[in-house]
Amino acid sequence: HPSHAPRTPERRAVIVGGGLVGSLAACYLAKRGWRVDLYEKRPDSRKPDNRDSAEHRSINLAISERGLSALRRLDPALEARVKDLVIPMYGRMIHALDGQQTSHRYDVFGKHINSIGRGALIQLLLDEADRCPGVALHFGHEFVQADFDSGQAVFRDAARGGEHVTVGADLIVGADGAFSQVRQRMMAKGMMNYSQTYIEHGYCEFSMPPRRGDFALDPNHLHIWPRGSFMLIALPNPDWTFTCTLFMPWDKFGALAADGDIVSFFRTHFPDALQLMGEDRVHAEYTANPKGSLMYLKCSPHTHSHRAVLLGDAAHAMVPFYGQGMNCGFEDVEALDRIMIRILRAGGDLGSSTAALTDKQLRQALDEYSAARAEDTSAIVDLALDNYVEMRAKVADYAYVTRKYLEGLLHWLFPRQIIPLYTMVSFTSIPYTQVVARWNRQTLWLHRSITAAAIAAAVGGGVLLARLLGGPPALLRAVARVGARAP
Ligand code: FAD
């Protein structure tokens, strides 16, 4: 194995995975004085010849406060450049079967989430990492093995016929996605709890073309066609198209494969969408596009010894129904940075070069990170799962919509005391565990208030009626008469 000796005596980080989270982590660590080598198994997706090698998983994503906050902390100009690429979505547009559209705003104060192209965002972050002094990007390098105690990672170099390259590092960051090999190696070393679950639903993407040179639907909404056990959603793209995703149980996909008539399925369940997409397109894309599976995973701890940490999907893949997977991964990077800086400062170093952390401080930072983050990310993995039922079924339910309006009104009246769940998740950086605790308290308070209001209304109504009838005995006689007539 040829060995790449560290080029300088400085602290060196090796990042495995040049996806959304790995490339942001590279920028952060470089800014904090680390020498960073980022290894990505695929070729460089920014080069035109390699575009096909970019994955096809969801063409666009929703980015919200947690993701934007991590970009802002790194560099407000980077957040501004990302914001130049987005299309704001102020609410959900619910499409009924008869074609009627109803807008549900996300927030009474006009806060919004943002649709952004996955490809554009990853290119921007890789360019940013490329520009950082101290960062080297290595494409076509697949992680295969690591010895965390000695800080050695081994990569297979595609350009050299699969030759193995061994690299030394003070910190190994596993940002290699849901099927993380770094996590596998950490698990092989023992003492890691892990669970992984595939849900019984899959997804398939379609496109909706522009209509007369403009968006076919309102671009400032996330469109949902909720149909109980399945749903279609659509997010806008800057080229006036929408990317539509059909989420559905696998047995329904299976049934459609058997009789093959996706067009009549759309005609029955999404007639307005079919009209805008076109029958030929729906048929062709359903035949050609892959059907993706959906899973969630949790693990704990997220670290190994004082040298390795998992960030992003490698530590906590979740189903996409809260639009939080990437946002949460970006928040991981910010959270680790905050902890490292705090420990550095507590040790008397008032600078911001976390590369100056001693081994002992680094271990402390990773321990603290894992203790906080394993719980927080577990909470959002659960919330994301719950939100699927909300999107595909509850949004069409009258009681649910009424409750949402009531919460919105209370939030408007008491913006600090009552915050709807969606607002806490998407528009704040309140830790996810606190979001859940606070939500449970609010729900209890809301239920008690509604019960108290109902009792007060009943008592008040009774008193009023008694007065109108001439006193309590008259009211009791009237009640007895009604009771006697009852069957
Ligand atoms: P990945 O994006 O998976 O990147 C991992 C990288 O590591 C890849 O480039 C891979 O090639 C590389 N790699 C893997 N193995 C190795 C190896 N052995 N050696 C070297 N490199 C390796 N999130 C949101 O926030 N908002 C949304 O709206 C949203 N919508 C989604 C819709 C769908 C349908 C899906 C499936 C997901 C969605 N997500 C969304 C989640 C989001 O896509 C992920 O959370 C995000 O991509 C995680 O980023 P990552 O960098 O951790 O992992």
Give the mean pLDDT of 272-298: 96
Whether 372 and 404 share a structural domain: no
The better pLDDT of the pair 191, 101 is held by 101
| Structural domain includes residue 168 | yes
pLDDT number for residue 4: 47
**Position 476 in a domain:** no
How much is the pLDDT for 55?
54
Give the global pTM: 0.92
- Residue range of the domain that includes 402: 397-462
Question: What percent of the chain stands above pLDDT 90?
Answer: 78
Amino acid at 394: K
Both 175 and 280 in one domain: the answer is yes
Residue 45 scores a pLDDT above 80 = yes
Based on the fold, state whether residues 380 and 402 are members of the same structural domain.
no
The CB of 376 under 6 Å from ligand 1? The reply is no
- Tell me whether residue 226 is in a domain: yes
pLDDT score of 57:
64
Q: For residue 57, which of 146, 127, 119 has the smallest C-alpha distance?
A: 119
Q: At residue 124, what is the residue type?
A: L
Residue 486's pLDDT is 60
**Which tokens belong to 149?**
């105690």
Average pLDDT, stretch 362-375? Answer: 97
Residue 7 maps to a domain: yes
Bridge partners (DSSP) of residue 101 are: 95
Q: Is the pLDDT of residue 187 over 90?
A: yes
pLDDT band at 7 (very low <50, low <70, confident <90, very high): very low
Q: How would you write the chain as a 3-class SS string?
A: CCEECCCCCCCEEEEECCCHHHHHHHHHHHHCCCEEEEECCCCCCCCHHHHHHCCCCCCEEEECHHHHHHHHHHCHHHHHHHHCCCEEECEEEEECCCCCEEEEECCCCCCCEEEEEHHHHHHHHHHHHHHCCCEEEECCEEEEEEECCCCEEEEEEHHHCCEEEEEECCEEEECCCCCCHHHHHHHHCCCCEEEEEEEEEEEEEEEECCECCECCCCCCEEEEEECCCCEEEEEECCCCCEEEEEEEEHHHHHHHHHHCCHHHHHHHHCHHHHHHHCHHHHHHHHHHCCEEEEEEEEEECCEECCCEEECCHHHHCCCHHHCCHHHHHHHHHHHHHHHHHHHHHHCCCCCCCHHHCCHHHHHHHHHHHHHHHHHHHHHHHHHHHHHHHHHHCHHHCHHHHHHHHHHHHHHHHCCCCCCCHHHHHHHCCCCHHHHHHHHHHHHHHHHHHHHHHHHHHHHHHHHHHHHHHCCHHHHHHHHHHHHHHCC
Task: Output the pLDDT for position 399.
Answer: 81
The 87-89 sheet, strands edge to edge:
60-63, 113-117, 87-89
Average pLDDT along the chain: 92
Domain identity same for 203 and 325:
yes
Verify whether ligand 1 is closer than 6 Å to residue 107 (CB atom).
Answer: no
Q: Which residue has the higher pLDDT, 371 or 407?
A: 371
Same domain, 288 and 164: yes
* Residues 187 and 55 grouped into a single domain: yes
| Res 235: pLDDT | 98
Q: Which of 332, 362, 387 is the last residue of a domain?
A: 387
Q: Average of pLDDT values for 282-308?
A: 95
In terms of pLDDT, which residue wins out, 161 or 57?
161
CATH code for the domain in which residue 299 is found: 3.50.50.60
Ligand 1: residue whose CA is nearest its atom 53: 177
18 lines ligand 1 (CB under 6 A): yes
Do 145 and 94 sit in the same domain of this protein? Answer: yes
Q: Does ligand 1 come within 6 angstroms of the Cβ of 308?
A: no
Same-domain pairing of 196 and 273: yes
Q: Are residues 361 and 456 in the same domain?
A: no
**Does the residue 470 lie in any domain?**
no
67-126: per-residue pLDDT in tens?
A: 999 999 999 999 999 999 999 999 999 999 999 999 999 999 999 999 999 999 999 999
Checking if the pLDDT of 5 tops 50, the result is no
Please state the atom number of ligand 1 nearest to the C-alpha of residue 203: 34
> CA 428, 433, 439, 441 torsion: positive or negative?
negative
Domain membership flag for residue 429 = yes
* CB distance 203 to ligand 1 below 6 Å: yes
Q: 398-439 pLDDT, tens per residue?
A: 888 888 888 899 999 999 989 999 999 999 999 999 999 999
Q: Is residue 479 part of a domain?
A: no
Whether the CB-CB separation of 228 and 393 falls below 8 Å is answered with yes
| Residue 2: pLDDT band with limits 50, 70, 90 | very low
Same domain membership, residue 421 and residue 307 = no
For residues 206 and 243, state if they share a domain.
Answer: yes
- So what's the pLDDT on residue 8? 43
What pLDDT is recorded for position 56? 57
478 belongs to a structural domain: no
**pLDDT at residue 353 above 50?**
yes
**Residue 51 has what pLDDT?**
66
- CA dihedral in degrees (52, 54, 59, 61; nearest 10)? -170
Is 123 a pocket residue for ligand 1 (Cβ < 6 Å)? no
Condensed to tens digits (0 to 9), the pLDDT of residues 227-249 reads 999 999 999 999 999 999 999 99
Across 184-203, average pLDDT = 95
416 residue type, one letter: R
324 lies in the same domain as 433? no
